[in-house]
Chains A and B, each alone.
Chain A
């Protein structure tokens, strides 16, 4: 995940260098360290929790006397080792873009759902190979078929059977049309689960599960290059709790 803009539409970011309490990698979500924990000031988030989120890692700090470098930035409490300093975007209103994945591993393609039933009124997507978790209130995107390129909010979801949209697709849905579906709805979703490396989003979890986040926009391209843009709901400088 990386910031693409701020809520005021600008792309001016404030970057700060922080001491780390744990080894982190570039583009990883980081949170503020809690009292009496760790030797630094920030640490990595969790896949399902981003309380006191600080931002995402841009790289190593140039103030680090012995370098460090992009990639894995190592934390060490051993005398003589390089102090771990990383550069982080700290704007509370930064809009982060995360790749949507079809699993917990970053780089997993989204599941392409192929319809097994037709829908003349364009409201029901019938398929036996849908994702397992409840994606009610998520968003589906037509990949191929007469409605290719259009998306709709899901209002009823039954795993491995069908899902329904309230606002119909403009053209009939035919057997063999393909769709993508995710649990993220702009302004509606309140949580996003990250992949195991804390760099991208896991789009297979149930709607509303994960760490606090508010999606702003979905960028649909295909199974391997669709993104969710979101804002941290619980930022270290704008705390929810």
Chain B
């Protein structure tokens, strides 16, 4: 079964005005880039639905956002996919700075002697 996309052929004035008022993500910007840019700007508190938290887990970890174990958002839309979800987890920007290479090296020395450093570099260092 093939997927059929139904795109409206005629856009009313209202549709055109709304599309200008609420511009969508540009086709030249992939969803992941947009999400990464969002996290890079340090919003402090992001509401991320479960599918997106899995899809963008790598970026969430790299930018130092952490899921709060208790606090949830109810009745809001996901910041990434913009879909309304009944209950979502809140992700907060961690207060400590990202570990630098020196800290990674120390950690490696302390706990992971003999392992490869790249295996544990999960966060951006710049």
Give bound CA distance, A58 to B47, whole Å: 11
A12 within 8 A of B: yes
Instruction: Tell whether, in the assembled complex, residue A12 and residue B41 are in contact, meaning their CB atoms are under 8 Å apart.
Output: no
Number of A-B contacts (CB under 8 A): 61
Give bound CA distance, A61 to B73, whole Å: 14
Binds B, one of A45-53, A64-72, A179-187, A220-228: A64-72
In this complex, which of B41, B42, B45, B75 has the most chain A Cβ atoms within 10 angstroms of its Cβ?
B45
In this complex, which of B42, B44, B47 has the most chain A Cβ atoms within 10 angstroms of its Cβ?
B44
Instruction: Give the interface size class of chain B.
Output: 10 to 19
A54 within 8 A of B: no
Instruction: Tell whether, in the assembled complex, residue A15 and residue B41 are in contact, meaning their CB atoms are under 8 Å apart.
Output: no
Interchain nearest-CB distance for A90 vs B (Å): 10
Instruction: Tell whether, in the assembled complex, residue B76 and residue A14 are in contact, meaning their CB atoms are under 8 Å apart.
Output: yes
Instruction: Tell whether, in the assembled complex, residue A14 and residue B93 are in contact, meaning their CB atoms are under 8 Å apart.
Output: no
Interchain nearest-CB distance for A64 vs B (Å): 8
Instruction: Tell whether, in the assembled complex, residue B43 and residue A68 are in contact, meaning their CB atoms are under 8 Å apart.
Output: yes
Q: Which residues of A contact B61 (CB under 8 A)?
A: none
Interchain nearest-CB distance for B76 vs A (Å): 6
Instruction: Tell whether, in the assembled complex, residue B44 and residue A59 are in contact, meaning their CB atoms are under 8 Å apart.
Output: yes
Instruction: Tell whether, in the assembled complex, residue A62 and residue B42 are in contact, meaning their CB atoms are under 8 Å apart.
Output: no
Interface flags for B34-48 (1: CB within 8 Å of A; 0: not) read: 000010011111110
